[in-house]
């Protein structure tokens, strides 16, 4: 017959005395394993008469439970011990000065995006987002670009193979679909910007297959072209940190705005650099206009009550102008020397992003 008292005392003191996880595992096998003491005790129950078997069975089960828990607690203890030792060993002093040769840089696109969000944020625009893989409705149809419309050709679209329903998804060709998604789900007044990646099958000195845009959308009851102009002029002054940015509003066409315009910034190209102001060149930075009544109606907004303006800004374009980067393709070549030259130190904050720029 098993002597429970001494078996229990022996087992618990062994668990307490064990020195590491390996020892604990050996002990677990020796007590609870197939040939362990407790398991042997269980097997021996069969030889007892029913009454004794019941009593001993219950006691053995209780002991098994107690031993299992004691082993689990001890396991946690050793694991904590190991983790604490590791944390102590891997500690490093974050206040040590950095090594200049190892310093990382912030990519000019990330930097420019942060500045844009900061400026439009200060003007009361909230950030909205949409997917890079879009459907035809959001990228085209709802924006008043029906199938066969010639404007589709301007977009050099990347198409996905047709799905089970024969529908072809696209890589969004602009951030304008986020206008649609926002208007479908938000009641006016609306004031959002939508930053993100956009894609077109196009690659030369002034085009890359992936680039970035920031879309702006404002919908209210008495919005007019003057609001649009004022907003964009204020933005350009804050972003380029110049009170007299040379700016040109040129009539244009987009199916989703009426009237439509494009905005160019006066700039100078000299000695492989491009700079705002000074020269006789103009660089187009954005398209804009008053949201077409059909687009409002497509999103369930009554064009007799609401009007709005929208714009789509090329992020690479404004980054090139502000930071004098002459070639668009270099942005995505992942050349470390280029990053060292044009990139930003993590703690450098440009004036336009320090607040108070507006
Ligand atoms: N989506 C246009 C493009 O990528 C740019 C644009 C033009 C956006 C006018 C707008 C707009 O919101 O109103 O070429």
How close is the Cα of 307 to the center of ligand 1, in Å? Answer: 17
Higher-confidence position of 242 and 218? 218
Contact of 274 with 285, CB cutoff 8 Å: no
Pocket test for ligand 1, best of 138, 145, 171, 174 (most atoms within 8 A of CB): 174
Q: Which of 29, 56, 90 is the last residue of a domain?
A: 90
**Which of 311, 313, 316 for mutating ligand 1's site (highest number of atoms within 8 Å of CB)?**
311
Residues 149 and 60 both lie in one domain: no
Per-residue model confidence (pLDDT) at position 354: 55
Residues 188, 68, single domain; the answer is no
In terms of average pLDDT, the best of 89-93, 163-167, 247-251 is 247-251
14 with 126, same domain: the answer is no
Q: Is residue 101 part of a domain?
A: no
In a domain, 294, yes or no: yes
pLDDT at residue 301 in the model? 97
Separation of CA 7 and ligand 1 centre (Å): 81
Which residue's CA is the closest to the ligand 1 atom numbered 3?
Answer: 174
Atom of ligand 1 nearest to the CA of 213: 4
103 found inside a domain: no
Task: Look at residues 90, 116, 132 and tell me which one is the last residue of a structural domain.
Answer: 90
What's the pLDDT band for 278 if we cut at 50, 70, 90? confident
Atom of ligand 1 nearest to the CA of 217: 12
Contact 25, 33 (CB under 8 A): no
Residues 6+ apart with CB under 8 A from 323: 108, 112, 342
pLDDT tens-digit series, residues 140-151: 999 999 888 877
Question: Is the CB of residue 144 less than 8 Å from the CB of residue 256?
Answer: yes
The predicted pLDDT at position 345 comes to: 84
Q: What is the pLDDT of residues 37-95, one digit of tens each?
A: 888 888 888 888 989 889 888 988 999 999 999 999 999 999 999 999 999 999 888 88
**Does residue 356 have a pLDDT over 60?**
no
Is 59 part of a structural domain of the chain?
Answer: yes
Mark whether 251 and 294 lie in a shared domain: yes
pTM of the model: 0.72
Q: What is the mean pLDDT of the chain?
A: 91
53 inside domain: yes
Maximum average pLDDT range among 1-15, 211-225, 318-332: 211-225
Q: Whose CA is nearest to atom 12 of ligand 1?
A: 311
Same domain assignment for residues 309 and 188: yes
Does residue 357 have a pLDDT over 50?
no
Residues 259 and 178 both lie in one domain:
yes
Ligand 1, pocket residues at CB < 6 Å = 174, 176, 215, 254, 257, 287-289, 310-312
Nearest partner of 343 among 118, 117, 110, 119, judged by Cα:
110
Number of independent structural domains in the chain: 2
The answer to whether residues 64 and 148 belong to one domain is no
Q: Does 122 share its domain with 243?
A: yes
Domain encompassing residue 222: 108-342
Residue 243 sits in the same domain as residue 332: yes
Which are the contacts of 156, defined by CB distance < 8 A and separation ≥ 6?
A: 173, 200, 201, 202
Read off the tokens for 64.
Answer: 């098994």
Same domain, 179 and 318: yes
Out of 29, 55, 90, a domain closes at 90
Same domain, 28 and 177: no
Give the percent of the chain with pLDDT over 90: 67
Which of the residue ranges 15-24, 200-209, 317-326 would you say has the lowest mean pLDDT?
A: 200-209
- Answer yes or no: is 102 within a domain: no
Residue 357 belongs to a domain: no
Has residue 114 been placed in a domain? yes
Which residue lies with its CA nearest to atom 7 of ligand 1? 287
Report the SS3 class of residue 91.
coil
| 314 Cα: distance to centroid of ligand 1 (angstroms) | 10
Mean pLDDT for the stretch of residues 97-122: 89
Residue 193 shares a structural domain with residue 134: yes
């Amino acid at each position: 017959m098993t002597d429970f008292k001494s078996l229990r005392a022996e087992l618990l003191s062994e668990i307490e005395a064990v020195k590491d996880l390996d020892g604990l595992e050996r002990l677990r096998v020796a007590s609870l394993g197939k040939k362990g003491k407790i398991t042997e005790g269980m097997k021996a129950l069969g030889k007892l008469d029913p009454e004794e078997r019941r009593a001993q069975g219950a006691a053995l089960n209780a002991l098994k439970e107690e031993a299992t828990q004691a082993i689990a607690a001890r396991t946690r203890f050793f694991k904590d011990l190991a983790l604490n030792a590791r944390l102590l060993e891997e500690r490093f002093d974050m206040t040590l000065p950095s090594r200049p040769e190892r310093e990382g840089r912030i990519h000019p696109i990330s930097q420019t995006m942060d500045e844009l969000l900061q400026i439009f944020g200060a003007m009361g625009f909230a950030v909205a987002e949409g997917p890079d893989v879009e459907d035809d409705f959001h990228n085209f149809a709802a924006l008043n670009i029906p199938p066969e419309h010639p404007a589709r050709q301007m977009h050099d679209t990347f198409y996905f193979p047709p799905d089970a329903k024969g529908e072809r998804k696209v890589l969004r060709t602009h951030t304008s679909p986020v206008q649609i998604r926002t208007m479908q789900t938000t009641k006016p007044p609306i004031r959002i910007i939508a930053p993100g990646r956009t894609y077109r099958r196009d690659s030369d000195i002034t085009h890359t297959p992936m680039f970035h845009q920031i879309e702006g959308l404002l919908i209210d009851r008495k919005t007019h072209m003057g609001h649009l102009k004022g907003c964009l002029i204020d933005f350009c002054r804050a972003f380029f940190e110049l009170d007299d940015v040379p700016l040109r509003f040129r009539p244009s066409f987009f199916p989703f705005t009426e009237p439509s315009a494009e905005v160019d910034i006066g700039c100078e190209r000299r000695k492989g650099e491009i700079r705002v102001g000074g020269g006789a060149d103009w660089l187009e930075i954005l398209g804009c206009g008053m949201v077409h009544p059909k687009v409002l109606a497509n999103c369930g907004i009554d064009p007799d009550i609401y009007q709005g303006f929208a714009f789509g800004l090329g992020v690479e374009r404004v980054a090139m102008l502000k930071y004098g980067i002459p070639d668009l393709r270099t942005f995505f070549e992942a050349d470390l020397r280029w990053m060292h030259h044009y990139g930003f130190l993590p703690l450098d904050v440009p004036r336009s992003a320090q607040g108070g720029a507006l």
